Amino acid sequence: MGDLIGWVIFIVALLVSVMLHETGHFVVAKRFGMKVTRYFVGFGPTIWSTWRGDTEYGIKALPLGGFVKIVGMHSLDDPDDPADEVRAFRSQPAWQRILVLSAGSATHFLLALLLAFGLALGVGIANDNVSQLGEISPCVPTSLAAYNNGTCGSGAPASPAKLAGLRVGDTVTAFDGHPVGNTFTQLGDAIRAVPPGSPVTITVRRDGKLVTLHTKLASVNGRSGSYLGIGPAVVFQVASPLGAIEYSGTTFGQVLVGSAQAVASLPGGLSKLFAKNRSSTEAGQVTSVVGAAEATSAEVGSNAGWQYKVSFVLLIVISLNIFVGAFNMLPLLPLDGGHIAAIVYERIRAWFARLRGRPDPGLVNMAKLVPVSFSLFLVIVVFSLVLVAADIVNPLQLTGG
Does 325 fall in a domain?
A: yes
Catalytic-residue membership of 22: yes
Does 16 fall in a domain?
A: no
Same domain, 228 and 351: no
Does 11 fall in a domain?
A: no
H or E, element range at 216: strand 209-216
Does 23 fall in a domain?
A: no
Torsion angle of C-alpha atoms 137, 141, 146, 148, degrees rounded to 10: 60
H or E, element range at 186: helix 184-193
Same domain, 232 and 182: yes
Name the 3-class secondary structure at 61.
strand
Instruction: Count Cβ atoms below 10 Å from residue 186 Cβ, excluding itself.
Output: 13
- Residues paired with 52 in a beta bridge: 55
Does 368 fall in a domain?
A: yes
Q: How far apart are CA 171 and CA 130, in angstroms?
A: 8
Boundary residue ending a domain (173, 202, 237)? 237
Indicate the range of 208-212, 233-237, 357-361, 377-381 predicted with least confidence. Answer: 233-237
| Per-residue confidence (pLDDT) for residue 277, from 0 to 100 | 67
The CA-to-CA distance between both ends of the chain, in Å, stands at 26
| Per-residue confidence (pLDDT) for residue 88, from 0 to 100 | 92
DSSP codes joined into one string, 283-314: GGG---HHHHHHHHHHHHTSS--HHHHHHHHH
Cα-flanking dihedrals φ and ψ of residue 142, to 5°?
Answer: -80, -10
Region 310-329: mean pLDDT is 92
Q: How far apart are CA 71 and CA 36, in angstroms?
A: 6
Indicate the range of 97-111, 193-207, 368-382 predicted with least confidence. Answer: 368-382
Does 201 fall in a domain?
A: yes
Same domain, 229 and 248: no
Same domain, 333 and 260: yes
Same domain, 174 and 322: no
Asked whether residue 183 carries a pLDDT value surpassing 80, the answer given is no
Q: Using one digit for the tens of pLDDT, what is the confidence trace for 26-60?
A: 999 999 999 999 999 988 999 999 999 999 999 99
**Using 50, 70 and 90 to split pLDDT, how confident is the model at 279?**
low
Same domain, 115 and 131: no
Torsion angle of C-alpha atoms 382, 386, 392, 396, degrees rounded to 10: -130
The mean predicted confidence, pLDDT, of the chain is 85
- CATH assignment of the domain containing 213: 2.30.42.10
Same domain, 203 and 163: yes
Does 74 fall in a domain?
A: no
Same domain, 195 and 227: yes
Asked whether residue 75 carries a pLDDT value surpassing 70, the answer given is no
Instruction: Count Cβ atoms below 10 Å from residue 108 Cβ, excluding itself.
Output: 26
Same domain, 117 and 140: no
How would you label 363-395 residue by residue, b for 16+ Cβ within 10 Å and e otherwise? Answer: ebebeebeeebeebeeeeeeeeeebeebbeebb
Cα-flanking dihedrals φ and ψ of residue 181, to 5°?
Answer: -85, -165
Domain count, the chain: 2
In 33-119 the beta strands, taken as DSSP E runs, fall at 36-52, 55-70
- Which of the residues 22, 282, 294, 299 is marked catalytic? 22
Boundary residue ending a domain (194, 209, 237)? 237
CA distances in angstroms from 118 to 29, 113, 123, listed in the order given: 29, 9, 8
Does 189 fall in a domain?
A: yes
Q: Between 306-328 and 2-31, two packed helices, what is the crossing angle to 10 degrees?
A: 40
Q: How far apart are CA 401 and CA 398, in angstroms?
A: 9
Boundary residue ending a domain (218, 237, 256)? 237
Name the 3-class secondary structure at 231.
strand
pTM as predicted: 0.77
Same domain, 171 and 184: yes
**Using 50, 70 and 90 to split pLDDT, how confident is the model at 382?**
confident
Decide which of 114 and 261 is more confident: 114
Q: How far apart are CA 387 and CA 400, in angstroms?
A: 23
Region 127-148: mean pLDDT is 79
The one-letter code for the residue type at 3 is: D
Same domain, 391 and 271: yes
Whether 101 contacts 334, CB under 8 Å: no
Same domain, 113 and 131: no
Residue 313: domain span: 93-123+241-401
